Structure 1
């Protein structure tokens, strides 16, 4: 289990490479949800998402031999962008494996950094290719199954705890569980009374299915939210979530896309569906906990192309 000492150490290590993103009250969301809302704007992070933190944490820990051989990562978008950009900044050769369903913009950004992009038919095939490249000598930078990566993502929770006012409930998106594992590890120490809620989308609900099964299980992926589409969580992230998180909510894709539009309208920020799903989840939390809720939302990323958002909105009949 990752603890606050590891997270504080990692915060010092990556401080010169990542942004301490703003933590601000949102009057617009507070009015929309009828409760005080504070947002952690990780969509303003370097590379457009929190993933830069974990990628940097891992890259800075490489040996000289590992740096020379290069690194490899699997990604539905944001992790690959983060690794490619940060590896280029740190002069490390990177290979990024993505399913063909990943956003075209993400693939373009990866290639623009000079990283080698490898495309596969799906996430299962992407992870299998990463394993083969590991056997060939590349160092894997796993998107969530790595203590260093989780400690890096945990710096989000460290900053949120330091910078936010009073909170009763914090909502964090879940793909493979690296972000919520790190955030929960920080908050359980620094804000022990706060309830922590994970949020997934239907068709990308690896953590909720793991919790129901008593451990990680493979899941069928069908969500449009590729950045949350892990084929399974890891034992490491499962252990953190099962011990530290109050509950995991599952949101339909349609509501996640509506959340993007609502965030643009009421919070004046451009988010991706992995962050948009937090708004409908926050409504459910507000209904469950009643009056007195003071909500914190980790807006994890903003790497959604306008054309994709408009296409999703049309698909789901949203204005």
Structure 2
């Protein structure tokens, strides 16, 4: 299986530059910096991969995806900007802050039971002749996410550890591919909730392991409930230095710290990398934690803070 290359990631960086916010590294401790992708136009890193993929779709046609919310927002934004029609399939229970944004960008929202979202998106692609732009299982998406790795090394060349949230694995695949190509000494570690730790189990087993939605939907980290694909599993097995898990209370504590010490809003999924550092589960050294998104449900955010 072909893995995404550094050259592809660099090309993606050039393509998406017009819509990208080059997020800073925010210090929140003596040896911890946070990269707040919550500051992107759609509130998450997803704009990078979605826009890179959408740019390669034939103008005047349409796209479809399945999403827990953030990728759907990103693709809806990209489609609106590029003149493409867009359909986004989300699972029941998706936070309104995400589903409302998808509709706000002009996309059609389709809500289905959690186990049905991939099948529903594939069916719509076939019925309507739409191009599928999945949230992680796509080389262009992975390459777009990998641009974060380029930015980290450019701003903090002596970084020793990078902590990355893991769900379907596109973000970790891209960042690890970029960083390992440029400086293999840097340790890239994935982080996921204990209640959705399918990636950790997959890497231990040596093949992708799927967790049922009845298990993954227990976590408040609604953006980290997807399984790895064959493509992302191959990237993580080749490039990732390991995976650690965090508890629900540790995620909430990280959200509070990011709001207080960093003045940054993090949704639960976006806080897991910081949570791993706070809980002492990450390797020691000069560390960058990816804050992957800030589209927090307002009621959950109020209760947590």
Query: What's the TM-score bracket when you normalise by the shorter of the two chains?
Result: over 0.9
1:239, CA displacement in angstroms? 0.8
Task: Specify every segment of 5 or more residues in structure 1 that has no aligned partner in the other structure, as ranges.
Answer: 314-318
Task: Answer whether contact 2:222 2:268 (CA < 8 A) is retained.
Answer: no
Partner of residue 118, structure 2: 127
Which runs of no fewer than 5 residues in structure 2 stay unpaired? none
1:252 deviation in Å? 1.4
The match for 1:227 is 223
State the Cα distance separating 1:206 from its structure 2 match. 2.5
What CA deviation, in whole Å up to 9, does each residue of 1:18-69 have, x standing for no partner?
2222234x1xx21xxxx411222211111010000111011100124xx42x
Secondary structure, in 3 states, of the residue corresponding to 2:42? helix
TM-score of the superposition, structure 1-length normalised? Answer: 0.89
Name 1:282's counterpart in structure 2.
Answer: 277
**CA 1:121/1:135 → structure 2, altered by over 3 Å: closer, same or farther?**
same
The equivalent of 1:89 in structure 2 is 81
| Contact residue 169 and residue 228 of structure 2 kept, 8 A | yes
Cα deviation for residue 177 of structure 1 reads 0.4
Structure 2 residue 150 is the aligned partner of structure 1 residue 155:
no
Contact kept? 2:269, 2:293, Cα under 8 Å: yes
Equivalent residue number for residue 268 of structure 2: 273
Residue matched to 2:25: 23
Alignment of 1:24-39 (within 5 A): 24=26, 26=27, 29-30=28-29, 35-39=30-34
Counterparts of 2:273 and 2:283, CA distance in 1: 16
1:173 to 136, 160, 165: 165
Paired residues in the alignment total 298
Counterpart among 211, 215, 233 of residue 207 in structure 2: 215
Q: 1:296 to 1:59 in 2, by over 3 A?
A: same
In the alignment, what sits opposite 2:96?
104
Return the TM-score normalized by structure 2. Answer: 0.93
Contact in 2 for aligned 1:168/1:195 (Cα 8 Å): yes
**For residue 141 of structure 1, what is the aligned residue in structure 2?**
133
SS at match of 2:195: coil
Tell me the equivalent position of 1:304. 296
Classify the secondary structure of the residue corresponding to 2:196. coil
- Whether contact under 8 Å (2:276, 2:282) holds in the other structure is no
In structure 1, distance between residues paired with 2:175 and 2:123: 31
Whether 2:51 is the aligned partner of 1:49: answer no
Counterpart in 1 of 2:13?
11
C-alpha displacement of 1:104: 1.0
Aligned equivalent of 1:77: 69
Select the residue among 193, 198, 203 that pairs with 1:206. Answer: 198
Partner-residue secondary structure (3-state), 1:62: coil
Which of 167, 184, 189 is matched with 1:192 structurally?
Answer: 184
**Range moving further from structure 2, 127-136 or 147-156:** 127-136
Shift of 1:287: 6.2
Q: Please report how far the alpha carbon of residue 294 of structure 1 lies from its aligned counterpart in structure 2 after TM superposition.
A: 0.9
Q: Aligned partners of 1:50 and 1:299: how far apart in 2? A: 9
Secondary structure of the corresponding residue to residue 157 of structure 1: helix
Cα displacement (A) at 1:77: 1.3
